[in-house]
Structure 1
Amino acid sequence: MKKFVSVALASTAALALSACGTAEDASADAEAETVEVPAEEAVGDVTEEPAADADAAGTEAVVEDTAGDTAAAVAAEADTAADAGAAAANDVLAEVEKAAKKEGNKMVDKAVDRVKKEVE
Structure 2
Amino acid sequence: MKKVFGLLFVAGLFTFASCNNAEETATEVETTETVETVEVETEVEADTTATIEEDTTAVQ
Q: Which category describes the TM-score, using the shorter chain as reference length?
A: 0.3 to 0.5
State TM-score, norm by structure 2.
0.37
Structure (1 or 2) with the greater helix fraction: 1
